[in-house]
Amino acid sequence: MDRRALLGLAAVAAATATPAAAAGGGGGGAPQPSYMRLPTITANVRRADGRRGVMTVETGLDAPDAALRARVAQSAPRLRAAYAAVVQTAANALLPGHPPDVERLVVSLQAATDTALGRRGARLLIGTVMVV
């Protein structure tokens, strides 16, 4: 069985189920959430005392379009790989003892999102950026 096809069907079914149910009910239903949380991304850093540390970035995507939400669900492994590369690059550029440049990180992650999805429209949301 092709897992990608199964994930695609599940994402399309989830994206189309709520609007149909809301249209069928007379009282109106709750709007479908457009936010999708992605797994935490981690990378190794060098701390001020010379030991190794970890940079952790929590991410999510806001995709208001149902078709785009389905594409995000299908592209989740590709997004995780792109985000891991961006976070590792940012961690390698981080000077020991200094905070990460969150603005630059957000711009790089948004560019990786647009590239991985093949189009614009999904907005990257950052939860926590932490170096320990």
Tokens of 50: 């010379």
Phi, psi angle pair for 62, to nearest 5°? -105, 110
- Digit-coded pLDDT (tens) for 21-75: 444 444 455 566 899 999 999 999 998 888 999 999 999 999 999 999 999 999 9
Give the distance from CA 35 to its chain's centroid.
Answer: 10
Per-residue pLDDT for 81 more than 90?
A: yes
Mean of all residue pLDDT scores within the chain: 83
For position 48, what pLDDT does the model report? Answer: 85
Residue 26: its pLDDT value, please? 45
pLDDT at 93: 93
pLDDT of residue 101: 94
What pLDDT sits at residue 18? 46
How large a percentage of the chain has pLDDT more than 90? 68
Q: Note the pLDDT of residue 33.
A: 84
- Would you give the end-to-end CA distance of the chain in angstroms? 42
Percent of the chain surpassing pLDDT 70:
76
C-alpha 67/C-alpha 64 separation (Å) is 9
Q: What is the pTM of this model?
A: 0.74
Domain boundaries, the chain: 33-131
pLDDT at 50: 86
> Does position 107 have pLDDT exceeding 60, yes or no?
yes
Q: What pLDDT score was predicted for residue 1?
A: 46
CATH number of 33-131: 3.30.479
